[in-house]
Every structure is written in structure tokens, then in C-alpha cells.
């Protein structure tokens, strides 16, 4: 979520769902995984409510969205600054980025969860990385040449 209050609201709503449905947990996997799925679903539901229609465009261009770029030697950035940059990403990019990077989900899982194609998931991740890279490099006065 873009701000802490919205994140707290989603967090609280997810915990309510966990407590209401705890009797549905079948001990067929980890409890943590079961809870995680509820939290992710609640987050996506909240993001979709903010928009009149799904905020994911299922469109990508393989010629421009998967350009290999050389690795840059970027000095460390403060964690809080990086988290701020991630929070500032457009919703669709931030969601895919967080699911891929922090939740360690595969593009296939993300695509199924968000009802988008794997290509769109990859495209959104790539665009998020490019936006973050540009912001970090502009602060550090680096050049991408």
C-alpha cells in the first residue's frame, strides 16, 4: 500500500479473516503459508477496490520489456530510502515487485494470483526495476552510460 494507514487497515482485515476462518485450516501445509495467502488476497482485494477495474494491464512488448542491461556498480542506499522508492511505484509495479522480490513468488504464481499473463508479470517487474534504478542513480548522480 502507498501509505502506512492503508497498510494497517489491510493487515487488520487480513487478521480478522484468519481468525474467522481458522477452523478451515486443514493442516495440509504450513500455517504460515495459509496465512500468507489470506494476507496477499486481502491486499489484492484492497488494491482492486481502489480502482474501478483491475489495475493490471495484460499487455507487454517482448522487444522492449526484456532488454538486458549491464549491471551497474551502485553504492549502498539507505533501507528507508529504498522502501520509500518502492512505496512510490505505481500499484501494479509495486505489487508484482513485492510478490517477486519479498515473497519469492514465481511469475507463474503471480500471474495466476493477479489474473494476468506471465509476460505481464515479467514486464511489470522489469518496469519497476527500471524506475527504481533511475531514482537511485539520480540521487547518487550516477550515469548509466
**Residue 70 pLDDT:** 53
Distance, in Å, from the CA atom of 67 to the CA atom of 79, rounded to the nearest integer, reads: 27
**Residue 73 pLDDT:** 58
Distance, in Å, from the CA atom of 99 to the CA atom of 112, rounded to the nearest integer, reads: 12
| pTM attached to this predicted model | 0.64
Phi, psi of 81 (to 5 degrees): -65, -45
Distance separating the N- and C-terminal Cα atoms of the chain? 34
More confident residue, 21 or 61: 21
CB 111 within 8 A of CB 105: no
Q: What are 126-141's pLDDT values in tens digits?
A: 999 999 988 888 875 5
Q: What percentage of the chain has pLDDT greater than the value 90?
A: 34
**Residue 63 pLDDT:** 46
Amino acid at each position: 500500500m502507498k501509505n502506512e494507514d492503508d497498510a494497517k487497515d489491510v493487515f487488520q482485515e487480513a487478521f480478522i479473516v484468519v481468525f474467522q476462518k481458522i477452523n478451515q485450516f486443514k493442516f495440509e501445509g504450513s500455517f504460515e503459508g495459509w496465512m500468507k495467502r489470506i494476507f496477499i488476497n486481502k491486499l489484492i482485494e484492497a488494491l482492486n477496490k481502489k480502482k474501478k477495474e483491475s489495475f493490471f494491464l495484460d499487455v507487454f512488448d517482448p522487444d522492449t520489456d526484456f532488454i538486458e542491461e549491464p549491471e551497474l556498480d551502485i553504492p549502498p542506499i539507505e533501507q528507508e530510502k529504498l522502501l520509500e522508492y518502492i512505496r512510490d511505484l505505481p500499484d501494479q509495479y509495486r505489487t508484482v515487485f513485492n510478490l517477486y522480490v519479498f515473497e519469492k513468488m514465481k511469475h507463474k504464481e503471480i500471474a495466476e494470483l493477479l489474473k494476468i499473463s506471465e509476460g505481464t508479470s515479467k514486464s511489470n517487474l522489469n518496469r519497476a526495476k527500471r524506475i527504481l534504478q533511475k531514482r537511485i542513480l539520480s540521487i547518487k548522480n550516477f550515469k548509466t552510460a
